[in-house]
A and B are shown apart, each in its own frame.
Chain A
Amino acid sequence: MQIFQSDLLCIGAGLAGERVAVSAAEAGFSTICLTLVPPRRSHSSAAQGGMQAALGNSIMGEGDCPDIHFTDTVKGSDWGCDQEVARLFAETAPIAMREMAFYGCPWNRVVPGEHTYYKGGKPFTAVEKTENEGLIHSRAFGGTAKWRTCYTSDGTGHAVLFTLDNRLVQLGVTMHDRVQAEALIHDGQRCMGCVARDLRTGELRAYFARATLIATGGYGRIYKATTNAVICDGGGQICALETGIVPMGNMEAIQFHPTGTVPTDILVTEGCRGDGGTLLDVNEYRFMPDYEPEKAELASRDVVSRRMTEHMRKGLGVKSPYGDHLWLDIRHLGEKHITTNLREVYDICNNFLGVNPIHQLIPVRPTHHYSMGGIRTNKDGAAYGLTGLYAAGEAACWDMHGFNRLGGNSLAETVVAGRIVGQKVVEFLQGDEGATFSTAALKETAAKVQERIDDIVYCRKGNENCYAVRDAMQDVMMENVGIFRNGTDLQAGVEKLQAILERAEHIGLQGKTVGFSPELSMALRVRGMVKLALCTAYGALMRTESRGAHAREDFPERNDRDWLNRTLATWKDPKDTLPTLTYEDATPYFEIPPGDRGYGGGKRISGDIPADKIRPFGNPHGMKESSNA
């Protein structure tokens, strides 16, 4: 078996993984990135809208500052986030955006003079200041007090990813694409790398590394209707969960995006609504202002998604062979705006739906979009439980998003967390004296993976079809663990998933081939995906409150008395059929004690916050981003 060795191993080469790799490589550490696909095909590239950072250059962002960004983020999270992390994020975001500009990102810039913008579908004019000409511009996104989202047309993820990957080429970071991590190598204390499968040849190989970063993005493919790319199968989370030591945080916190298209589930950006797009029902009536008079279509995503579902449940959705949906209307923005600022949207509608959005309505429905939960880390990005293991980006529960993340905050998180965690990884590597790699641990891990492959290839434990098992799991997640949740459905869902987990133990290959088998890739993943699904469903069942994206019909109140905490899910024994759940405080202290979000309605059960947990508001520690440039 081939064995590779490096200082840092990045599993995943999207924005978060690559930003961490940049820090390590700049500090002179050898770095290898593993990725399922060539790095520029990572799902980061599909993010259209933008990155939130309080630069305050645009007229509609005037007076913006990290304090306001922090406040929006905490409110958006429904007070589920770690406020220390959210503060760190808000303070660092402007620096990270400027750094991307320095590396070559073509951010859109301020053009002085009078411009027509849209708010709530109505045009208004604003005058951009001459003194800000050429600085990074920003657009509106939901749930924010200021226009704060930095963007490059509607290809922000693509533009930043290419910028960052260019930097990796420059730094000579080793890139191993078409490699699937299958298991972490560890001794119960220290992570030493991973065993992986070469997706060109099907062969196993091993990676020894002093520090290992998981940055594999979300696990949206546990749902049938998801905007996530087909590679977002939770591979990184599965590797961490199956150590039996590393916990997942807040797996029940799942965000649905209001505007997944029907039937392909491809996302059209929130920028559509930010720029003035409206939502219409079967009668082409604009219904959002009835529910949310102030923010209308620009309330936070969880609120808009729930209101849409609520409205469709009243029978006001549009019937289609693929189920009910609503309409997104951007016709009034005009041909020029749609074909320039919203060009990807224009392309998606024409190429995948056969709809021309200049003249026609776009069919949309709330679709699984983002996983707030993931591998639980501390504020440095270090995973709980294993030394030398880190996580960043959507794969992690760092936890600036709590129970709902704001549009533009997750894309920003990739490079902001990447910058912060990258620095911490460098400090770890600098202070790490002579890590020893255990060949025994490697052999044990590789043997386990090989045995599992042989079980599946030779149908030694059965011949369940991996696609059928996956479909069964996805159906349960859609039906029982969706936008609106209740105890009865969740209980039934958990039981069904336990039965599906049992089936997953008996998967056998249907097709035989020499070398790489695409079916084996799925077959190896399904069991872990069902475990992630169980962490999600069981966490949702036990959390008897509604917070952010987690909406319980039987417990509609946000309960700060009993549930101002984070769920930690650990899979202690491979034979378990449920994760072990424990809870920790949501945040070490409060700059903003729990209060009303100002949108979304809903009641609250207040809890007492001890006085020593409350800190004065406004960057109390003079928190400054350390310079590593």
Chain B
Amino acid sequence: MRKLHLEIFRYNPLDPDSTPHMDSFYLDETPSMTLFIALTQLRETRDPTLKFDFCCRAGICGSCGMVINGRPGLACSSQTKDLPDHIVLQPLPFFKLLGDLSVDTGTWFRSAWERIESWIHTDKTFDPAAQEERMDNELANQIFELDRCIECGCCVAACGTALMRDDFLGATSINRLARFYIDPRDQRTDKDYYEIIGDDNGVFGCMGLLACEDVCPKKIPLQDQLGIMRRMVSIHSVRGILPKKVADFLAKAGCSCGCHKG
């Protein structure tokens, strides 16, 4: 078994005497070791002040996004056997640093969901006595496919636009809206979506660097969703200008995902 060298970013913003620096720790690799096991071991046996976030430790909750050897990813599902013996860990950029490897994703995501109104918009009310509305199973699967986002923040941390533009909604938000766009329970129109993401903080801010999709631990097709949504709001924005035939053609070709709104 190897001896691992973990080089970890340290900084406590609440401590006026703290300065950002890297600390080195050495530990023996064990079978099936993940960064969850390694970091927990470090905190419990070497440095109890080391700050990082884990919750489910099973790649489901999205707590442990960090930059692992230069690449955003989930620490809990990173097996040390897949990494070199020198492992450099840094907090996700973009989010507010709480200390060491811990960043405040919660506040950012909450505000993003308020901005994009991440809920089903409907004028119906729930009737406890009624049978559920029917839905095609394939569509349910498509919705869940996009709903699998665990809000780890890796896509935003890896995003060039987000680093330049604080208000950029990021791939995660556009993906979330794409999920509502294909959901027939949500009664929002193209115009409504245009109001939310039809600017530089939304779909037009993306520079197409594709890092979001590259680093997504759930392998969600983020760029496809961005393309679909950008096309939809673009067509909406020129609908009044284009000849009707062209607009109709574009609208029909609009959604390549095969959804009912296509």
Instruction: Please give the residue numbers on chain A whose beta carbons come within 8 Å of chain B beta carbons, in ascending order.
Output: 37-38, 40-43, 45-46, 95, 97-99, 101-104, 106-111, 133-137, 152-153, 155, 158-159, 162, 166-167, 169-170, 175, 177-178, 200-202, 229-231, 263-264, 266-267, 321, 340, 344, 347-348, 351-354, 467, 509-519, 625, 627, 629
CB distance B140 to A108 under 8 Å? yes
Contacts of A98 in B (CB 8 A): 126, 128, 130-132
Q: Which of B15, B61, B117, B141 has the most CB of A within 10 A?
A: B61
Contacts of A347 in B (CB 8 A): 59
CB distance B44 to A516 under 8 Å? no
CB distance A517 to B77 under 8 Å? no
CB distance A511 to B56 under 8 Å? no
Known A-B contacts A41-B63, A177-B106, A229-B61; A169 and B118 likewise in contact (beta carbons under 8 Å): yes
A230 to B99, CA, bound (A): 19
Interchain CB contact (< 8 A) of A153 among B107, B144, B150: B144
CB distance B128 to A627 under 8 Å? yes
A95 to B51, CA, bound (A): 43
CB distance A109 to B140 under 8 Å? yes
CB distance A41 to B59 under 8 Å? no
Q: Which of A38, A108, A519, A629 has the most CB of B within 10 A?
A: A38
Contacts of A340 in B (CB 8 A): 141
A110 to B131, CA, bound (A): 14
Known A-B contacts A106-B144, A231-B55; A518 and B43 likewise in contact (beta carbons under 8 Å): yes
CB distance B106 to A264 under 8 Å? no
Q: Which of A41, A137, A229 has the most CB of B within 10 A?
A: A41
CB distance B48 to A108 under 8 Å? no
CB distance A169 to B113 under 8 Å? yes
Interchain CB contact (< 8 A) of A41 among B61, B99, B125: B61
CB distance B50 to A518 under 8 Å? yes
CB distance B134 to A134 under 8 Å? yes
A231 to B57, CA, bound (A): 10
A167 to B118, CA, bound (A): 8
CB distance A104 to B137 under 8 Å? no
A201 to B57, CA, bound (A): 24
Contacts of A170 in B (CB 8 A): 117, 119
Q: Name 5 A/B residue pairs within 8 A (Cβ), A-sorted.
A: A41-B151, A109-B140, A135-B134, A511-B49, A517-B48
B62 at the A interface (CB under 8 A): yes
A133 to B136, CA, bound (A): 8
Minimum CB distance partner of A156 in chain B: B144
In the complex, what's the smallest C-beta–C-beta distance from A629 to chain B, in angstroms? 4
CB distance A103 to B120 under 8 Å? yes
Minimum CB distance partner of B50 in chain A: A518
Interchain CB contact (< 8 A) of A38 among B131, B147, B151: B151
B238 at the A interface (CB under 8 A): no
CB distance B99 to A344 under 8 Å? no
Chain B interface size, under 10 / 10 to 19 / 20 to 34 / 35 or more: 35 or more
A40 to B176, CA, bound (A): 14
CB distance B44 to A109 under 8 Å? no
In the complex, what's the smallest C-beta–C-beta distance from B57 to chain A, in angstroms? 6
Q: Which of B18, B117, B141 has the most CB of A within 10 A?
A: B141
Interchain CB contact (< 8 A) of B140 among A45, A99, A106: A106
B87 at the A interface (CB under 8 A): no
Minimum CB distance partner of A513 in chain B: B49
Contacts of B48 in A (CB 8 A): 467, 509-511, 517-519
A43 to B81, CA, bound (A): 27
CB distance B141 to A108 under 8 Å? yes
Contacts of A515 in B (CB 8 A): 12, 14-15, 99
Contacts of A264 in B (CB 8 A): 32, 34, 37, 57-58
Contacts of B113 in A (CB 8 A): 166, 169
Known: A97-B132, A98-B128, A519-B48; 9 extra A-B contacts, CB below 8 A, are A106-B135, A106-B140, A106-B147, A135-B134, A153-B141, A229-B61, A230-B57, A516-B14, A627-B129
In the complex, what's the smallest C-beta–C-beta distance from A560 to chain B, in angstroms? 37
CB distance B34 to A352 under 8 Å? yes
Minimum CB distance partner of B108 in chain A: A38
CB distance A38 to B148 under 8 Å? no
Known A-B contacts A109-B136, A354-B81; A46 and B58 likewise in contact (beta carbons under 8 Å): yes
A263 to B31, CA, bound (A): 9
Contacts of A40 in B (CB 8 A): 61-62, 109, 150-151
In the complex, what's the smallest C-beta–C-beta distance from B6 to chain A, in angstroms? 17
Known A-B contacts A102-B132, A321-B31; A266 and B14 likewise in contact (beta carbons under 8 Å): no
CB distance A344 to B60 under 8 Å? yes
In the complex, what's the smallest C-beta–C-beta distance from A167 to chain B, in angstroms? 6
Contacts of A517 in B (CB 8 A): 48-49
Minimum CB distance partner of B57 in chain A: A230
CB distance B49 to A519 under 8 Å? yes
Contacts of B144 in A (CB 8 A): 106, 152-153, 155, 159
